């Protein structure tokens, strides 16, 4: 169904290092064409754009992942995206993306929102996680082993979600964006952005969420899942 959010697992599980297993890529793609997430052992950043799924790694490479791949995702958010609002905007920060979404979807102040930005960016700073060096290593630890890169005057696409604050523990409150260049050869999790002129903006509210939790997964079953809002903000903010 269009504009329903499908999410596999919860951010608190990633914080606890639950990343050895996950949802098969083909199953994930059956739930939508627009999304983000990570891979087994948190090896790199996932972006799903127009139904194609890419793995962006800390060595700077971007690899399209075949839907029949036996790879899995321990955490992902995806939707069958059908923009209900389209506009153009010049933006100088991630926070301005949040503010813009709140402005163009005034009836959905407390809903999830999906967003896509296309165009030329004066500057986009991304990080790509290298991944766990051992099973159950926490996302906080994984965050210490990542590559950052700033693209200057890069043309590409940003895919992401705005999540309500009350989703703390389940998802990443606030704006969460991944970037991929137009040639689909570089990208990552966005830390900062600034557009040159105006970029294209497409957005939709997602008032229904389908949350699927890991089953028959000992890591998930034994994780404390206490929550670490400051930790999530530190590594996903």
User: Of 12, 19, 1, which Cα lies nearest the Cα of 217?
Assistant: 19
Number of residues that bind a second copy (CB under 8 A): 32
Among 68, 152, 216, 230, binds a second copy (CB under 8 A): 216
* Smallest distance from a second copy to CB 206, Å: 9
Candidate ranges 42-50, 122-130, 192-200, 215-223; the one touching a second copy (CB under 8 A): 215-223
Candidate ranges 51-59, 116-124, 159-167, 174-182; the one touching a second copy (CB under 8 A): 159-167
CB closer to a second copy, 86 vs 213: 213
Per the rule left: phi > 0, alpha: psi between -120 and 50, beta: everything else, 74 is alpha
Candidate ranges 66-74, 82-90, 187-195, 218-226; the one touching a second copy (CB under 8 A): 218-226
- HSE at residue 208, side-chain half, CA atoms within 13 A, is 9
CB atoms within 10 A of CB 109: 11
Instruction: Scan for tokens 């939707």, then name that residue.
Output: 79
Pairwise CA distance, residues 61 & 78, whole Å: 22
- Applying CB under 8 A, does 31 fall inside the site for a second copy? no
Instruction: Scan for tokens 């503010």, then name that residue.
Output: 99
Determine the length of the chain: 237
Site residues for a second copy, 80-119, by CB under 8 A, read 107-111
Chain residues that interact with a second copy, rule: CB under 8 A:
10, 12-13, 107-111, 164-170, 207-216, 220-223, 225-227
């Amino acid at each position: 169904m269009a504009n329903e959010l499908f999410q596999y697992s919860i951010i608190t599980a990633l914080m606890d290092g639950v990343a050895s297993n996950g949802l098969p890529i083909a199953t994930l793609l059956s739930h939508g064409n627009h999304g983000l997430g990570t891979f087994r052992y948190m090896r790199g950043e996932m972006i799903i754009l127009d139904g194609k799924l890419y793995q962006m790694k800390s060595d700077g490479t971007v690899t399209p992942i075949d839907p029949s791949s036996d790879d899995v995702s321990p955490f992902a958010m995806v939707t069958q995206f059908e923009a209900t609002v389209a506009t153009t905007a010049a933006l100088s920060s991630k926070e301005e993306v949040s503010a813009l979404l709140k402005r163009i979807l005034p009836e959905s102040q407390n809903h999830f929102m999906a967003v896509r930005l296309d165009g030329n960016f004066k500057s986009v700073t991304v990080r790509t996680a290298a991944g766990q060096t051992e099973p159950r290593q926490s996302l906080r630890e994984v965050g210490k082993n990542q590559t950052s890169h700033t693209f200057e005057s890069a043309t590409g696409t940003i895919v992401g979600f705005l999540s309500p604050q009350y989703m703390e523990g389940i998802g990443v409150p606030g704006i969460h964006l991944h970037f991929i260049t137009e040639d689909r050869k570089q990208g990552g999790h966005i830390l900062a952005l600034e557009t040159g002129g105006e970029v294209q903006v497409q957005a939709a509210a997602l008032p229904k969420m389908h949350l699927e939790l890991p089953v028959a997964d000992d890591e998930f079953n034994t994780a404390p899942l206490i929550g670490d809002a400051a930790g999530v903000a530190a590594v996903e903010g």
